[in-house]
Amino acid sequence: MKVGVFDSGIGGLTVVKSLLEHRLFEEIVYFGDTARVPYGIKDKTTIIRYAIEAVEFFKNFELDLIIVACNTVSAHALTEMREVASCPVIGVVEAGILATSNALRDKESNILILGTKATINSKAYEIGLREQGFTNLQAKATGLFVPIVEEEIYEGAILEATFKHYFDALKKPDAVILGCTHFPLITDALQNYFSNETVFIHSGDAIVEQLERDFDFSTKYTTTKLEFFASENPEALKNVAKKWLHL
């Protein structure tokens, strides 16, 4: 299977990492819209327009599937992408809801949803989780984590101050949804801040869980052909990919 992975920038590489670890695909074509990131502060109409352009870009490849690694796009533009795509399109929000439901038996669990402003404002996770019977939900837009991670800050005083700023007034959660591609990189710091018991829902692992449920992956690929494209400075994206994916 040949898959396209789309993100607003470099963050979707955390999803590619999970796909590679599970050796699901023969070929992965990654597109990061680095010229126009961040999407998380933009409005729905703009996010949809950019997402449709990404589908058009992917038409240059014969893809079997498009994975939307970006939570912001998954929350706002999946329907519109499906309308113009010539292959199935799946997104990380739906996968995250499913993974949360599988991970938590207790419907009273306190779930903290983190994401960009656009993702949180869409209420996509809240609506989906309520449909699954969860009622004890908190949601927080934590957009500052995006530039912090892009600066490769994964621990320390800046992050601690940001945690305090965002989380001081919240109830300690049983589970945290890392509803943004960048957030898995600060899981350890978040775990230290909350507790070792806190369950973390990671978009990459969630999409693997959904893929393994919905498709037949009896063939495991020993190597995966990777191609990286970016709307600006593809070399910078390739360098981050080398580092994050240990290529």
Residues belonging to the active site: 70, 180
**Binding residues for ligand DGL restricted to 158-197, rule: CB under 6 A:** 180-182
| Smallest gap from residue 10 Cβ to ligand DGL (A) | 9
Task: Please work out the total of residues on this chain that contact ligand DGL, with binding judged by CB under 6 A.
Answer: 17
Query: Is residue 18 a contact residue for ligand DGL (CB under 6 A)?
Result: no
Binder among 14, 18, 34, 72 for ligand DGL (CB under 6 A): 72
CA atoms within 13 A on the CB side of 194: 23
CA 136 remoteness from chain centre:
22
| Smallest gap from residue 36 Cβ to ligand DGL (A) | 8
Binder among 4, 40, 96, 184 for ligand DGL (CB under 6 A): 40
CA distance 116 to 163: 15
| Smallest gap from residue 146 Cβ to ligand DGL (A) | 5
Closest-CA residue to 115 (of 181, 196, 23, 159): 181
Residue the block writes with tokens 């499906």: 82
Nearer of residues 8 and 231 to ligand DGL, judged by Cβ: 8
If residue 101 lies in a helix (H) or strand (E), which one and from where to where? helix 92-103
Q: Would you give the DSSP letter of residue 2?
A: E
CA 213 remoteness from chain centre:
18
Q: Which residues bind to ligand DGL, rule: CB under 6 A?
A: 7-9, 11, 37-40, 70-72, 116, 119, 146, 180-182
